[in-house]
């Protein structure tokens, strides 16, 4: 299982030349969205490569969690933004479900949704539609390109 995020739907795609550069912007959310899109594509390609070998692969969205990712949000705003978010323990529930439930790993899935509600989701993001050639090229580029 790969922990991703619904934020991957915000990524317009992957600019491979920008992956090794420092992220621009104030929030870092565009870079975060691309990183999470890479996680989803990695899981899809791994599932394709291991198909028929008794191994499953999927990405999961843990929910919007009040974690240290919000640490740079200024104090007066942070409590407002994080109010209503899942606690860290609640955010871990989806990962724990996927790791311990015997039925969770029986099939490859594109994305499991938050907080133990394990239902496959397919939305319209072009980067997560099944594209074996694009996903393979992306994974090869990530794994093979020297640092």
Q: What is the CATH number of the domain that holds 74?
A: 3.40.50.720
Question: What was the pLDDT predicted at 119?
Answer: 31
**Domain span at 54:** 2-144
For 7-40, give one letter per residue: b (16+ CB within 10 A) or e: bbbebeebeeeeeeeeeeeeeeebbbbbbbbbbb
Annotation marks residue 9 as catalytic: no
Tens digit of pLDDT at every position of the chain (147 positions) = 888 988 888 888 888 888 788 877 777 888 889 989 999 999 888 888 888 888 888 888 888 888 888 888 888 998 999 998 988 888 888 888 778 877 766 666 656 665 433 333 333 344 444 444 555 555 555 444 444
Question: What was the pLDDT predicted at 92?
Answer: 87
Residues in Cβ contact with 15 at an 8 Å cutoff, skipping those fewer than 6 apart? 34
**How many domains, in total, are found in the chain?**
1
Phi-psi domain of 3 (left: phi exceeds 0; alpha: psi -120 through 50; beta: other): beta
Active-site entry in 9, 32, 58, 97: 32
Rounded Cα distance between 128 and 126, Å, is 6
Whether the CB-CB separation of 41 and 132 falls below 8 Å is answered with no
């Amino acid at each position: 299982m790969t922990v991703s995020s619904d934020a991957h739907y915000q990524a317009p795609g992957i600019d491979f030349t920008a992956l090794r550069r420092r992220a621009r912007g104030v929030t870092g959310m565009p870079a975060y969205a691309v990183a999470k899109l890479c996680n989803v594509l990695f899981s899809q390609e791994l599932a394709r490569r291991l198909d028929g070998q008794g191994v499953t692969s999927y990405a999961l969205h843990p929910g919007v969690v009040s974690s240290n990712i919000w640490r740079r949000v200024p104090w007066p705003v942070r409590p407002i933004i994080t109010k209503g978010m899942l606690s860290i323990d609640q955010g871990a529930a989806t990962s724990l479900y996927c790791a311990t439930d015997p039925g969770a790993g029986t099939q490859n899935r594109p994305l499991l949704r938050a907080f133990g509600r394990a239902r496959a989701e397919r939305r319209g993001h072009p980067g997560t539609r099944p594209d074996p050639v694009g996903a393979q090229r992306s994974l090869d580029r990530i794994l093979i390109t020297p640092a």
